[in-house]
Amino acid sequence: MTTSIAGLHHVTAIASDPQRNLDFYTNVLGLRFVKRTINFDDPGTYHFYFGDDTGTPGTILTFFPWPGARRGRPGAGEISATAFSIPAGSVEFWKARLRANGLTFTQHLRFNANVLAFQDPDGMSLELVEHTQMHAGTAPRYSDVPAEYAIQGFFGVTLLLHSLEHSAALLEVMGMKQIGQEGNRTRFAPEGEAFGRFLDIVVDARAPHAASGAGSVHHIAFRTPDDASQAAWRKILGPHANVTTVQDRTYFRSIYFREPGGVLYEIATDIPGFLIDEPVESLGEALRIPEWYEPRRRDIEAAVVPITLHKTAPEVTK
């Protein structure tokens, strides 16, 4: 049993218009649409998964796109930014690409790394961090972003909190160590190489409480290899947090708990993964629903809004 969380498994956020969400993450950021499924707790709505070519844990950004969802209000007790890694030397490419797509961004240095900060169409705060010691992913096959510039999974996330102490203590229980500080930003990371290793806590005691809505991160999930290691984490965390029972999410199994600052955490298994119900060539192309909803497939298909996946790769025309 490892005594440390390796890094993020996925980040789940709320969106409004499904087609706009799909177009932004595939056509602008060049991620692969890894899975088109439904919100298991609200089966008339989608759950979208974007990631690298095969949906490797640590590369997966997921959305609940609720048509017409109201925007959230940023504030304390939530993830204030979600950051992807981009390869060294790709900042100019990404600046040009963001501009070409009509996006405004800011550029700054943080812990000596280039950061481009911008928002998605729902106002979700995103960052691209130029990463020199990157854990490399597999570039999506359907993307016009050249593989050498492609997003390489998550860099990490930033939490905006009212105070540091208790949240930091829980991260220590999870094997994350404090590795740096810049102003009111404290950085935590586990040892080893993995996607999404970096967790920054920014403290602002006077920030208003966040209100969840479109553009808000719903929760972040850390990864664990299998059910046995997940059960061990459940035990370790038991004295420190109110941890749920195991939930079957088809592509992984999950436990959830709220950290002291208010952010919802999940620990998700790497298994069984996104190739369990469709071949790698056609990931995301058809609506996949869990077995227990199959008898309701026609109603579900009628309830979700139709979407079109545009595959923009040179590979498509081969």
Kindly list the residues in this chain that would bind Zn ion in the complex (CB under 5 A): 12, 221, 266
Shortest Cβ 266–Zn ion spacing (Å): 5
Minimum distance from residue 208 beta carbon to Zn ion (Å): 26
Task: Using the minimum distance from each CB to Zn ion, give the nearer residue, 12 or 158.
Answer: 12
Smallest distance from Zn ion to CB 264, Å: 9
Q: Is 17 or 266 the residue whose CB approaches Zn ion more closely?
A: 266
Residue closer to Zn ion, measured from CB, 53 or 266: 266
Q: Show Cβ contacts of residue 198 under 8 Å, excluding neighbours closer than 6 positions.
A: 83, 155, 156, 157, 187, 188, 189
SS3 annotation, the chain: CCCCCCCEEEEEEEECCHHHHHHHHHHHCCCEEEEEEEECCEEEEEEEEEECCCCCCCCEEEEEECCCCCECECCECEEEEEEEEEECCCHHHHHHHHHHCCCCCEEEEECCEEEEEEECCCCCEEEEEEECCCCCCCCCCCCCCCHHHCCCCEEEEEEEECCCHHHHHHHHHCCCEEEEEECCEEEEECCCCCCCCEEEEEECCCCCECECCECCEEEEEEEECCHHHHHHHHHHHCCCCCCCCCEECCCEEEEEEECCCCCEEEEEEEEECCCCCCCHHHCCCCEECCHHHHHHHHHHHHHCCCCCCCCCCHHHHC
Min dist CB 121 to Zn ion, Å, is 22
CB-nearer residue toward Zn ion: 149 or 256: 256
Q: Which two tokens stand for residue 25?
A: 């993450």
Q: What is the closest distance, in whole angstroms, from the C-beta atom of residue 15 to Zn ion in the complex?
A: 15
Indicate the residue among 149 and 154 with the shorter CB distance to Zn ion: 154
Instruction: Let me know how long the chain is.
Output: 318
Judge residue 77's burial from the number of C-beta atoms within 10 Å of its C-beta, 0-12 exposed, 13-18 middle, 19 or more buried. buried
In angstroms, give the least distance from the CB of 65 to Zn ion: 15
Of 49 and 118, nearer to Zn ion (C-beta) is 49
Whose Cβ is closer to Zn ion: residue 127's or residue 266's?
Answer: 266
> Least Å distance between CB 9 and Zn ion?
8
Q: Would you say 12 or 186 has its CB closer to Zn ion?
A: 12
Shortest CB 78 distance to Zn ion, Å:
15
30-to-64, 97, 151, 276 alpha-carbon distances in Å:
19, 11, 8, 23
Q: With respect to Zn ion, which residue has the nearer C-beta, 61 or 129?
A: 61
Q: How far is the CB of 233 from Zn ion (least distance, A)?
A: 15
